Amino acid sequence: MATTLSEAYRNHPLHLHHIIPLDFSSIRTLPESHAWSESNDSDNIISYNESLSIPIIDLMDPYAMEQIGLACEEWGVFQLKNHGIPLSVIEEVEVESKKLFSLPAEQKLKALRSPGGATGYGRARISPFFPKYMWHEGFTFMGSSGDAKKIWPKDYEKFCDAMENYQKQMKILAEKLSHMILNFLGIKNCSSSSEENKWVGSTNHIGAIQLNFYPCCPEPNRAMGLAPHTDTSFLTILHQTLTNGLQIFKDGSGWVPINPNPNTLVVNIGDILYIMSNARFHCALHRVVVNKTKQRYSMAYFYGPPIDYVISPLVINSHVPRFHALTVKDYINIKAKNLGGALSFISTTSKNI
């Protein structure tokens, strides 16, 4: 599984300066390399407005499927309560993640992501697309975290157990949500489509964890935690610690905050589901802003089909497909070169293909 995703990234090696994070522990002022324009502040958080808050859905609600479908159409993202993930599993992953990021830089660098790799410690993979660096460190892994053994040759077990339990639980939840979403889209009722979506609930899928850390920042209004992006996944499930920062872009409104709610996970649709929904769902462009006094941590689980799976738009009622069908691997390759332009690159109305 891990090797298959790395295979897709191998053709797009990054320069080391786009992988090695700043040693934030020794920094007291914002370096020019991390100073984004002030405009990032003025287009910032919109004022609170009831109709502009991301839906909170109770997974135990008998109408959860319809509510999830509607939230995907309007927002591309929703908050989920009664999700069934034991609190202890989430708490442990938080403890281990905090332990990891508080290590001295040289220790973390032992697990540095390789230039063409998908897993390990480093800056976000999207870093080369932006003129400035982000105020962020990340650690990506799939399955058992071999990279943790490089950091703690003897004491890796607690970390690995916590991450494995978390992945196990996240996978179960991701499968449940995927079934509901595919049902909502009516994919189950299309000819041969249940065949095509056999990856949901099988071992033949991609499941990856991204631990994110946003240190306190001396000038948060001029810095960026994680630059605007959509996830490549089918769907992403995110746990955030109690510090604000995540925002979703809503056409006509601007950046809408998704502030943490206790016992609530954030679920957003990724590019793969956006394509499969034939753009019926909203594409969840999101970013993270940083804080002067509070550190922020988040743990994302990316769930999606295997890299040889052919993504094709679900077309109902003689609607025209808005995207060319292509494999996950091809899409990852296109995105590695175009980032935000990847979706228009595969659009049936553009002249790129």
Ligand X SMILES: C=C1C[C@]23C[C@H]1CC[C@H]2[C@@]12CCC[C@@](C)(C(=O)O1)[C@H]2[C@@H]3C(=O)O
Residues forming the site for ligand X (CB under 6 A)? 5, 118, 124-126, 138, 140, 208, 210, 229, 231-233, 302
Q: Which of 214, 287, 281, 301 is nearest to 248 (CA)?
A: 287
Q: Which is nearer to ligand AKG, 14 or 314 (CB)?
A: 14
Supply angle C-alpha 212, 213, 216, rounded to 5. Answer: 155
Q: Based on the shown chain and the rule CB under 6 A, indicate whether residue 145 belongs to the binding site for ligand AKG.
A: no
Give CA–CA dist 141/209, Å, rounded: 5
Here's the x/- map for ligand AKG, 278-297, by CB under 6 A: it reads as --------x-x---------
The correct pick among 72, 148, 224, 238 for binding ligand AKG (CB under 6 A) is 238
Residues in CB range of 12: below 8 A, 6 or more apart: 116, 333, 336, 337
The dihedral built from the CA positions of residue 274, 278, 281 and 284, taken in this order, carries a sign that is: positive
Q: Based on the shown chain and the rule CB under 6 A, indicate whether residue 137 belongs to the binding site for ligand AKG.
A: no
Q: Which is nearer to ligand AKG, 185 or 343 (CB)?
A: 343
Residues in CB range of 176: below 8 A, 6 or more apart: 59
Binding at 238: pick from Fe ion, ligand X, ligand AKG, none (beta carbon under 5-8 Å per type): ligand AKG
Looking at 35-43, 143-151, 168-176, 238-246, which segment touches ligand AKG (CB under 6 A)? 238-246
Quote the tokens at residue 337.
Answer: 């070169």
DSSP 220: G
Quote the tokens at residue 214.
Answer: 């946003």
Q: Which of 57, 312, 10 is nearest to 187 (CA)?
A: 312
Helix/strand/coil for 64: helix
Q: Based on the shown chain and the rule CB under 6 A, indicate whether residue 248 belongs to the binding site for ligand AKG.
A: no
**In the complex, least distance from residue 124 CB atom to ligand X, rounded to whole angstroms:** 4
Q: Which is nearer to ligand AKG, 85 or 187 (CB)?
A: 85
Exposed, middle or buried: residue 29 (CB in 10 Å: 0-12, 13-18, 19+)? exposed
Binding at 298: pick from ligand AKG, ligand X, Fe ion, none (beta carbon under 5-8 Å per type): ligand AKG
Helix residue ranges per DSSP H, 47-156: 64-74, 87-101, 105-108, 146-151
Binding at 136: pick from ligand AKG, Fe ion, ligand X, none (beta carbon under 5-8 Å per type): none
Q: Which is nearer to ligand X, 138 or 260 (CB)?
A: 138
Residue list 177-236, contact with ligand AKG (CB under 6 A): 210, 212, 226, 231
**296 noted as active-site residue:** yes
Give CA–CA dist 153/312, Å, rounded: 44
Q: Which of 113, 222, 296, 322 is catalytic?
A: 296
Q: Which is nearer to ligand AKG, 96 or 231 (CB)?
A: 231
Q: Taking the CA of residue 4 as centre, how many other CA atoms within 13 Å lie in the half-sphere pointing to its CB? A: 17
**In the complex, least distance from residue 133 CB atom to Fe ion, rounded to whole angstroms:** 17
Q: Which residues are catalytic?
A: 296
Binding site for ligand AKG (CB under 6 A): 210, 212, 226, 231, 238, 240, 246, 286, 288, 298, 300
